[in-house]
Amino acid sequence: MWWKYLIGLLMTGMIIAVFTLPPPQTVIGDASRIFFFHVPAALLGFLSFAAAAIFGVIYLKNRQPSADRRAAVAAEIGLTATVIATISGAIFAKVTWGAYWNWDPRQTTILGVLLIYAAYFALRQAVADRQARARLSAVYILVGGAIAPFLFFVLPRLYSSLHPKDSLVSGQGQFVLTLPVALTFAASLIAFTLLGLWLFQLADRAERIKEELEIKGDYTRLPRTIPYWP
């Protein structure tokens, strides 16, 4: 429970710090502050996909419906975070490069990630049988998890790209952020990751309640305020 208060404090402090501590960049000015939201969103996306793959492995080992449900919830958060990273990245690109989308390798690979995980939910929709769905999705999310690191980290670095590679560590291997900027950045990474964890907890609980009600067929227990379509 305590860490949820911490998220509130961290998020507030981080947002204030983002707009006060780092000086505006010489070239693009205040727009550079997108960095502190764009990078953590991408990181949360990647971590969620990694978590989804781990839940996929757990499902294949113990065949518990809970693992299947958690894999889906993690993938959902990952997809949302990656969409946020993509959109903020396109806005960032417009400001720095001059175009929202020009099929830079970084943009092509992140689109690949989005398609892979969108297809995961299409797969889940397509299989009616619970166990077959869980088994197939577990294998799929595992394969997705094997490909994601390449699309996130490896491939964009193999091509020349407009996307910066040296915002954190310079070409000479030196850490380039000053202490206040580094602290702001660290706070934003931690805040986003913890927020993702909290979202995961909430969404998982909601899904569990939904599943339990479906299995029992006892819809009368649903509170009146929640709209319900049979």
Partner 1 sequence: MNKRLIIGGAIILIAVLLAFSAFKGSLTAYVDYDEARQLNRNCQVMGEIVKEHVNYDLSSGTLQFPITDESGNIMQVSYAGLVPGNFEQASSVVAIGRYRDDRFEANQLLVKCPSKYQGLEEQGEENPHEAKIKTGGA
Binding residues for partner 1 (CB under 8 A):
22-23, 25-28, 32, 35, 96-99, 102-105, 108-109, 143, 146-147, 150, 155, 159-162, 164, 166-167, 176-178, 181, 185
> Which of residues 142 and 197 has its CB atom nearest to partner 1 in the complex?
142
Quote the least distance from Cβ 219 to partner 1, whole Å. 40
Q: Is 111 exposed, middle or buried (0-12, 13-18, 19+ CB in 10 A)?
A: middle
Rounded to 5 degrees, φ, ψ at 99 are: -150, 145
Q: Angle at CA 93, nearest 5°, toward 75 and 177?
A: 85
Cβ at position 25, least distance to partner 1 in Å = 6
* Nearer residue to partner 1 within complex by CB, 108 or 193: 108
Nearest one of 15, 53, 34 to 92, comparing CA atoms: 34
As measured in angstroms, the least distance from the Cβ of 59 to partner 1 is 15
Minimum distance between the CB of residue 114 and partner 1, rounded to whole angstroms?
A: 15
Compare residues 118 and 202 and give the one whose CB is closer to partner 1. 118
Nearer to partner 1, 35 or 200 (CB): 35
Distance separating alpha carbons of residues 144 and 137, to the nearest angstrom: 10
What are the CA-CA distances from residue 74 to residues 11, 113, 130, 194 (Å)? 21, 15, 18, 13
Q: What's the closest the beta carbon of residue 189 comes to partner 1, in angstroms?
A: 14
Residue pair 11/195 in contact by the 8 Å Cβ criterion: yes
Nearer to partner 1, 158 or 209 (CB): 158
**What separation in angstroms does the CA of 162 have from each of 81, 83, 99, 200?**
22, 20, 11, 33
